[in-house]
């Protein structure tokens, strides 16, 4: 029996690729995609389980999806993604509305699962109760166990390949390529290895085949993602895996960008930097979450790196790849963080002048080493440190943006709803700044020359360079 399926994808780009694989697999099996949730036979919520806040968002999305249930009796509600992978047992008790929970390994057989539950019993009666005060482990909502199913294997090992059907959910001109999955790092605050398993890489041939197909399809930007993209190939015994991959992808015919996301400082080396410098298609852009800059904190976070190593990466990458933009993120309020540790971080940020920077307040996560640590930092202290670091970065960013006024930059034009916006080589989709476009002649999905006429703290303003050029004659 074929179903119409509506999918809501939450969380990170890696989860989005899983959503694309699920939809591609369902289409290949003859099911259809239903844009309107209320009209779908099956609703899939692909959840995020990384932080308390993202789990809350996932549970609210599940309950909201259930509210819609009353419109289409018999509709099935499936929960996939990291939260299902880790908390299916608890969630079964707390969310009887759900027809089935699906783990990471079950992504490629989503069609079989839908066909299996399609013939299954009705879901338990609708309940419009509020989201649980606290996500899994709450247990305060005693409800009858319905006949729902759990398709979750304990050890996540799945990773798609070139032959896997995918239904692109990003705008047609850019696409994520998941080059690896899982993570072998022991970061004390992170639960991702619990949900995504050990690191596993695809082969260079396999990734190249996918990239060729996407470029042939008109994709203008390939975003390479995994939990640690700099670890690419190491598990397969491939030396300099990322450099080799970049060289291969750069050799593909066509006019497109290659962007590297989610790298780890411990695995950066000059070989990768030199490859970026020698590969015109590879964006001069590094996304490298650093989390902290104080050695005592880096040690306590189990980040397997040091301030000296990080400072060397920054200096060498800026020397080897002139004009490179560095994006990073930091955590403030990690257990045991003192004013002195924080001042080290703050001063490092002022010295390094990162082009793009995000800050997170430490979130205590069950199942992580840091979640069991003493000396948790009070919320108001976290907030104060967050504000201080963001204020310092806002000033730096405004100066860096202002230094680009008057320049002509190559941008890729995106659509934001009805509005056209631009992104330079230094701007990844959804997480970085943008170029606000003035004037006419901008085309979505195209590379165009933009004359920067003004700037704000995080964004640039531009006119079409061509028009200005013509006007100057
Ligand atoms: S590198 Fe650290 S923070 Fe990133 S996914 Fe792995 S364990 Fe988590």
pLDDT of residue 136: 46
| 132: pLDDT strictly greater than 90 | no
Per-residue pLDDT band for 135 (boundaries 50, 70, 90) equals very low
CA pair distance 410, 394, nearest whole angstrom: 24
- Same CATH topology for 4-153 and 174-402: the answer is no
Residue 193 CA: nearest ligand 1 atom is 7
Distance in Å, CA 332 to ligand 1 centroid: 16
pLDDT of residue 353: 98
Per-residue pLDDT band for 68 (boundaries 50, 70, 90) equals low
CA pair distance 159, 207, nearest whole angstrom: 12
Torsion of CA 294, 300, 304, 306, to 10 degrees: 20
Residue 184 CA: nearest ligand 1 atom is 6
Tell me the chain's radius of gyration from C-alpha atoms. 23
CA pair distance 69, 78, nearest whole angstrom: 12
| 309: pLDDT strictly greater than 50 | yes
Q: Which class does domain 174-402 fall in?
A: alpha beta
Per-residue pLDDT band for 91 (boundaries 50, 70, 90) equals very high
Across the range 325-342, mean pLDDT stands at 98
pTM of the shown model: 0.92
4-153 CATH, one of 3.40.640.10, 3.40.50.12160, 3.20.20.20, 3.30.565.10: 3.40.50.12160
Residue 264 CA: nearest ligand 1 atom is 1
Instruction: Please report the DSSP string for 201-264 in residue order.
Output: EPPHHHHHHHHHHHHHTT--EEEEESS-GGGTTGGGT-TTHHHHHHHHHHTSSSS-EEEE-S--
SS3 track for 354-413? CCEEEEEECCCCCCCCHHHCCCCCCHHHHHHHHHHHHHHHHHHHHHHHHCCCCCEEEEEE
| 415: pLDDT strictly greater than 70 | yes
| 396: pLDDT strictly greater than 90 | yes
CB of 192 closer than 6 angstroms to any ligand 1 atom: yes
Give the residue whose CA is nearest to atom 4 of ligand 1.
227
CB of 228 closer than 6 angstroms to any ligand 1 atom: yes
CA 418 to the chain's CA centroid? 24
pLDDT of residue 139: 43
pLDDT tens digits, 22-62 = 999 999 999 999 999 989 999 999 999 999 999 999 999 99
**Percent of the chain clearing pLDDT 90 (strictly above):** 86
The answer to whether 318 and 354 are in contact (CB under 8 A) is no
The first and second tokens of residue 161, run together, are 């390949």
- Higher-pLDDT residue of 96 and 337 is 337
CB of 227 closer than 6 angstroms to any ligand 1 atom: yes
pLDDT of residue 127: 45
Q: Is 341 left (phi over 0), alpha (psi -120 to 50) or beta?
A: alpha
Residues with Cβ within 8 Å of 214's Cβ and at least 6 positions away in sequence, in order, are 175, 177, 222
Fold of 408-471: OB fold (Dihydrolipoamide Acetyltransferase, E2P) (2.40.50)
Q: How many CA atoms lie within 13 A of 380 on its CB side?
A: 0
Across the range 285-291, mean pLDDT stands at 98
- Domain range list for the chain: 4-153, 174-402, 408-471
Give the residue whose CA is nearest to atom 5 of ligand 1.
227
CB of 272 closer than 6 angstroms to any ligand 1 atom: no
SS3 track for 35-102? CCHHHCCEEEEEECCCCHHHHHHHHHHHHHHHHHHCCCCCCEEEEEEHHHHHHHHHHHHHCCCCCEEE
pLDDT of residue 118: 79
Give the residue whose CA is nearest to atom 2 of ligand 1.
187
Distance in Å, CA 183 to ligand 1 centroid: 6
Q: Which residues pair with 80 in a beta bridge?
A: 46
| 130: pLDDT strictly greater than 90 | no
φ/ψ of 463, rounded to 5, equals -115, 160
Share the mean pLDDT of the chain. Answer: 92
Across the range 275-304, mean pLDDT stands at 98
CA pair distance 325, 397, nearest whole angstrom: 12
| 467: pLDDT strictly greater than 90 | no
């Amino acid at each position: 029996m074929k179903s119409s399926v509506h999918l809501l994808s939450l969380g990170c780009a890696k989860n989005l690729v899983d959503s694309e694989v699920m939809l591609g697999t369902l289409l290949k099996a003859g099911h259809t995609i239903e844009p309107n949730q209320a009209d779908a036979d099956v609703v899939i919520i692909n959840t995020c389980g990384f932080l308390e806040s993202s789990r809350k968002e996932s549970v609210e999305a599940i309950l909201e999806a259930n509210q819609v249930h009353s419109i289409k009796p018999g509709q099935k509600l499936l929960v996939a993604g990291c939260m299902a992978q880790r908390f299916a047992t608890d969630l079964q008790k707390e969310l009887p509305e759900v027809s089935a929970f699906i783990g990471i390994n079950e992504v490629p057989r989503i069609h079989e699962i839908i066909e299996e539950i399609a013939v299954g019993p009705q879901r338990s009666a609708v309940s419009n109760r509020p989201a649980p005060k606290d996500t899994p482990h709450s247990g305060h909502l005693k409800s009858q166990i319905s006949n729902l199913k759990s398709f979750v294997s304990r050890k996540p090992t799945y990773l798609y390949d070139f032959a896997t059907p995918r239904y692109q959910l990003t705008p047609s001109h850019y696409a994520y390529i998941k080059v690896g999955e899982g993570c072998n790092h022991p970061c004390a605050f992170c639960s991702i290895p619990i949900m995504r398993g050990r690191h596993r890489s695809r082969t260079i041939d396999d990734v190249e085949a996918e990239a060729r197909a996407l470029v042939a399809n008109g994709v203008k930007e390939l975003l390479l993602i995994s939990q640690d993209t700099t670890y690419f190939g190491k598990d397969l015994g491939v030396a300099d895996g990322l450099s080799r991959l970049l060289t291969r992808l750069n050799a593909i015919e066509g006019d497109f960008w290659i962007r590297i996301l989610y790298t780890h400082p411990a695995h950066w080396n000059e070989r990768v930097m030199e490859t970026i410098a020698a590969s015109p298609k590879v964006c001069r852009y590094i996304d490298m979450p650093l989390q902290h800059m104080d050695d005592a904190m880096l040690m306590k976070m189990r980040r397997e790196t040091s301030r000296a190593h990080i400072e060397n990466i920054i200096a060498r990458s800026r020397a080897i790849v002139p004009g490179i933009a560095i994006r990073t993120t930091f955590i403030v309020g990690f257990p045991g963080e003192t004013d002195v540790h924080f001042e080290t971080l703050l001063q490092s940020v002022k010295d390094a002048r990162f082009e793009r920077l995000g800050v997170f307040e430490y979130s205590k996560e069950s199942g992580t080493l840091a979640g069991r640590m003493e000396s948790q930092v009070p919320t108001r202290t976290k907030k104060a440190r967050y504000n201080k670091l963001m204020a310092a970065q806002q000033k730096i960013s405004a100066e860096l943006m202002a230094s680009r006024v008057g320049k002509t930059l190559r941008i890729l034009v995106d659509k934001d709803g009805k509005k056209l916006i631009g992104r330079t080589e230094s701007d990844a989709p959804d997480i970085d700044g943008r170029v606000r476009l003035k004037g006419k002649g901008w085309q979505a999905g195209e590379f165009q020359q933009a004359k920067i006429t003004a700037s704000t703290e995080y964004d640039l303003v531009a006119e079409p360079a061509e028009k200005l050029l013509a006007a100057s004659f």
